């Protein structure tokens, strides 16, 4: 399982991240962001964290 990261942290690796609840649960209308190397995670709508999304299709 991917490690949850807090807003403002530098992303562990570049890719797509999805907003999650404060305890890691799913949220309604999650914010999905694409992070480049060295970028920080953006501030969320509420008290939430980010989880690296599995976008393999």
What does the pLDDT look like over 1-46, one tens digit per residue? 567 788 888 888 888 888 887 777 888 888 888 989 889 988 876 6
pLDDT band at 55 (very low <50, low <70, confident <90, very high): low
First to last CA, the chain: 18
Give the pLDDT of residue 27: 81
Interatomic CA distance for residues 9 and 44, integer angstroms: 12
By the 8 A CB rule, do 4 and 41 touch?
no
Interatomic CA distance for residues 14 and 47, integer angstroms: 23
Give the pLDDT of residue 57: 46
H or E element, residue 41: none
pLDDT greater than 70 at residue 47: no
Tell me which residue range forms the domain holding 2. Answer: 1-57
Give the pLDDT of residue 1: 54
Q: How many structural domains does the chain have? A: 1
Which residues make beta-bridge pairs with 18?
32, 51
């Amino acid at each position: 399982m991917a490690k949850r990261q807090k807003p403002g942290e530098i992303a562990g690796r570049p890719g797509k991240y999805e907003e999650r609840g404060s305890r890691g649960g799913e949220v309604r209308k999650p914010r999905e962001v694409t992070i480049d190397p060295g970028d920080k995670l953006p501030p969320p709508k509420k008290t939430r964290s980010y989880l690296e999304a599995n976008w393999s299709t």
